[in-house]
Structures are given as C-alpha cells and as structure tokens.
Structure 1
C-alpha cells in the first residue's frame, strides 16, 4: 500500500473487492458516464465486480496489467489507477487509465495516484513509457497528465468508443527514464 495523503492509500485490486467496487461504481455512475464506455446493468453488481477483481489479480500475476484502487481510511474505494496492456520486449510500455470519486475531486488524488503508479511502472515493472488518452474536452484529466510529467504526442481520431460514440482523443506519454514529477498534497 502506498499512502496518497492522510486519508487515502493506493493498493492493487484484490479478490474480495467486489462489494466496495460495486458501491463505488454505483455511486459514481453518472459522474463517470461521459468518460467511459457504455456499461451493462450487471457491471454495477457485486457479482460482476468480484469477477472482475479476480480477473485483475490473474492479469497482474500474468504480467498483462496491474490495477490499483484508491482506498480511504473508512475502507471505501474512491478511485482507480490502472496500467493496462503491458507490453514487454522492445516496447516496454503500458496504457494508463484512472478516475476519482466525484466527492474527492480537486484534492490531488488523481495526480498523486498517477505519479505513484508511474514510479511503480518504472521501478517495479521496468517499463520505458506509459501512454494515456483523454477526450478532447477533458481538461481536468489533461491537467493531471501534464502536471505529472506527461507530454502531449498527438490526436487520435475516433480512438475509443466512449459514452456510446467513437470519440477523438488526445494522446500523452511519459518516458520513465526521466525524473518523475510527484505532485504535492493539496491542503
């Protein structure tokens, strides 16, 4: 577990997280809808989330991905930071995704979570780079990326199917050989 502030830690998803994940996704359903793929109704159930938590554990063990939760001291899940599509060999890269609970915005949790996961990718996974994509109008997410050292590398037309539509995304990368920018805790 990695502390993010006095009230939150970052830790890998583990079996048994289904109840807390279902609660977090249900509470943030409206908040996340504009930024995510359309979700089937069963996505918000404990059973679906527990099955997914087990897949996360299996994927981490196989080196395909590692997914983290932002957990508050009361045991509630307040966000996620994921490294997906880990590729080894000459590429040594992964895709980054993240979200923070609507009640926890503008506290620096996303920035600190992204910085910690980037350090993990560099130090533990020995990756060379991380790529992230944001919708063109997701300025808050772009601020998180730039603030943690990512650089914009291009525009990807119709890149991902988000909120039911193929949407353009801005692409960012972080080369992990560079010193990482670790944001300070917000008051």
Structure 2
C-alpha cells in the first residue's frame, strides 16, 4: 500500500489541518508542553523525555515511516505557525476489514470551538474518499463528554464499552467504543 497525501484543510478559528512534516518535532514538543496539564487526564503518563524536541523528532520520523507504508495517517492542527493539536488514523487495515482507529486532541485554548468536529469530518472524508476505508473506530474514556460530543456530531455511533481498554493517566480505564461506517452497503 502506498502512502497518500492529504490536502491541507481550513478549519474554524484560523486553524489548518495538514500532514505531519519531518521538521515538526520542536513544534510538537512545544504544543505537548503547553498542553501537558490539559492532556494529562486523557493520555498515558508521559515520561519527561516525551516533551523534548529531540524525542518528538524521533517520534515524527517513526510516524512518517508508518504513513509511507500505508499503516497510518498523522496530521497536525496548525494556527499562525503554531501546532495546536493532532489527528491520527492508526492501524489502517485494508482487505475485508477496511478500517482504522481515530485519535485526536486539541489545544486547551481551542476546546469547544468546533475545531475538532471539523477536523474529524475532514479526516473521515479522507479515509473514505482517498484511503478507500469502510469504517473508522474511536474510543473515549467513559467521562469524556466533550470527545463523545465530537463523535456524535460527526456521525459516529456508540457500539459498546471496553473494560480496562487503555492505560490512561496511570491506570487501566474503561472506554466507550464508537464507529462510523463510511460507505452504505
């Protein structure tokens, strides 16, 4: 499977959704550092080196190889030259499954402003029209009402609960699973 491109997409609040670039490591380190407290309840516990520009550059290189191999699509949200979020399609599978997992976060200053709803819509259109996928799955913590609202607004349906699904904020936590079917029939 060959990697695809993603056309930069304008979103609300002057934000652009674009593919991750090889030189985004320092800007990602700054974004993660700025949002460390905001993201802590929703993410795995991050070691101190995760917030270093060098470590982020290594992670970017790994993600770009995965993208090149057709296994993922790594996107960033950018506003006025500053990275303000991420949207990722991971574990892309073709064949009979034609599915992927969706993950995302947005800068604390942009939460609740419709940015992520627009980004998820754009990424689902890309998954359908460019990647040829049939289904996108997402998972949220049981108490993450904001993320569940984004998913509901973008056509995802709740499909169940997964006990002890991910180790978030230092402990195994239950998640609500959602899916969006991208093609009829």
TM tier, shorter chain? over 0.9
Give the 5 Å matches for 1:78-93.
78-93=84-99
Q: Which runs of 4+ in 1 moved over 4 A?
A: none
Indicate the SS of the match to 1:99: strand
Which residue of the partner structure matches residue 110 of structure 1?
116
Aligned residues: 177
**Aligned residue among 59, 65, 74 for 1:67:** 74
Residue 123 of structure 2 corresponds to residue 97 of structure 1: no
Indicate the SS of the match to 1:125: coil
Residue 65 of structure 2 corresponds to residue 58 of structure 1: yes
Give the 5 Å matches for 1:37-186.
37-72=44-79, 74-178=80-184
Partner Cα separation in structure 2 for residue 105 and residue 156 of structure 1: 26
Per the normalisation by structure 2, the TM-score is 0.94
Structure 2 spans left out of the alignment, 5+ residues: 1-7
Per the normalisation by structure 1, the TM-score is 0.93
Indicate the SS of the match to 1:114: helix
Structure 1 spans left out of the alignment, 5+ residues: 179-187
Partner Cα separation in structure 1 for residue 105 and residue 13 of structure 2: 19
Q: CA RMSD in A?
A: 0.8
Partner Cα separation in structure 1 for residue 126 and residue 180 of structure 2: 13
Indicate the SS of the match to 1:14: coil
Partner Cα separation in structure 1 for residue 95 and residue 160 of structure 2: 24
Which residue of the partner structure matches residue 28 of structure 1?
35
